[in-house]
Amino acid sequence: ADVIEELEQTLATPTPLLRGIADAMVEEMERGLRADPHAPLKMLISYVDNLPTGDEHGLFYALDLGGTNFRVLRVQLGGKEKRAVQQYEEVPIPPHLMVGTSTELFDFIAAELERFVETEGDDFHLPEGRHRELGFTFSFPVHQTSISSGTLVKWTKGFCINGTVGEDVVAELSSAMERQGLDMKVTALVNDTVGTLAGGIYADNDVVAAVILGTGTNAAYVEHVDAIPKWKGPLPRSGNMV
């Protein structure tokens, strides 16, 4: 018992220390929101100013590219009454494509996406006259310029592909889908934390943040726009920004 008590005391985190850590983190977050060039937390603007409510209806696709595998998913949303029906597949990326050209990589992804679309079953219904919409989770450093565009800053995680750095990754994917003859539009480019936050809040409206603990650590939360000094442009109607 004495040993356990001593261990508890050694590992204890007193409340004043926790409050000090929280205060220091808030200070670093505020520096990032001001665009302080030396801020360790970058506080990246996602351009997502509205999150799901659970009332959404329709057929949507998602592509998650962030490592040696990518995932494709489709989901039929039926509002709060029917909730979601979903299917997904995980596809390994051949090693030679991780060091090849941008065209080769995105053509491979578009071909796999088309193959997945062709397996659409009776549980999934696209309204007549509507394009298939795709959310693109791209977990590499990106300078985002709108909800559906962003330029690649650099490749990480073993990728070293010529011709993509400085280019809009949504445009690269869209061109590949066009070459494939796939009638689909990328409507959102998001980081994996933003996708996790959207999925969490769809299921539970009390969710306030999402955290990724993986190769790296990242988080997303909703901030009031008037607390983001570096925000330029019209204020979103919601008054919020992820």
In tens, the pLDDT along 6-29 reads: 999 889 889 999 999 999 999 999
- N residues, the chain: 242
pLDDT at 214: 80
Q: How confident is the model at residue 80 (pLDDT cuts 50, 70, 90)?
A: confident
Considering the candidates 46, 102, 139, 148, report the single residue annotated as catalytic: 139
Considering the candidates 36, 71, 83, 175, report the single residue annotated as catalytic: 71
Question: What residues form DSSP beta bridges with 132?
Answer: 184
- Judge whether 40 and 113 are in contact, CB under 8 Å: no
Q: How far is CA 143 from the centre of its chain?
A: 13
Of 86-90, 127-131, 180-184, the one with minimum mean pLDDT is 127-131
Q: Which of 10-19, 119-128, 155-164, 209-218 has the highest mean pLDDT?
A: 10-19
C-alpha to C-alpha distances, 111 to 56, 98, 165, 181, nearest whole angstrom: 28, 16, 22, 9
Interval 44-56: pLDDT, tens: 999 999 999 888 8
Does position 141 have pLDDT exceeding 90, yes or no? no
**Residue scoring higher pLDDT (234 or 19):** 19
Mean pLDDT, range 160-184, rounded to an integer:
93
Residue 204 designated active-site = no
* Domains within the chain, CATH numbers bracketed: 1-43 (no CATH), 57-201 (3.30.420.40)
Rounded to the nearest 5 percent, the helix, strand and coil shares of the chain are: 35, 30, 40
Q: How confident is the model at residue 148 (pLDDT cuts 50, 70, 90)?
A: very high
Does position 93 have pLDDT exceeding 80, yes or no? yes
Task: Give the DSSP per-residue string, 13-42.
Answer: --HHHHHHHHHHHHHHHHHHHTT-TT-SS-
Residue 71 designated active-site = yes
Find the Cα–Cα–Cα–Cα dihedral 168, 171, 177, 180, rounded to 10°: -100
Residue 46 designated active-site = no
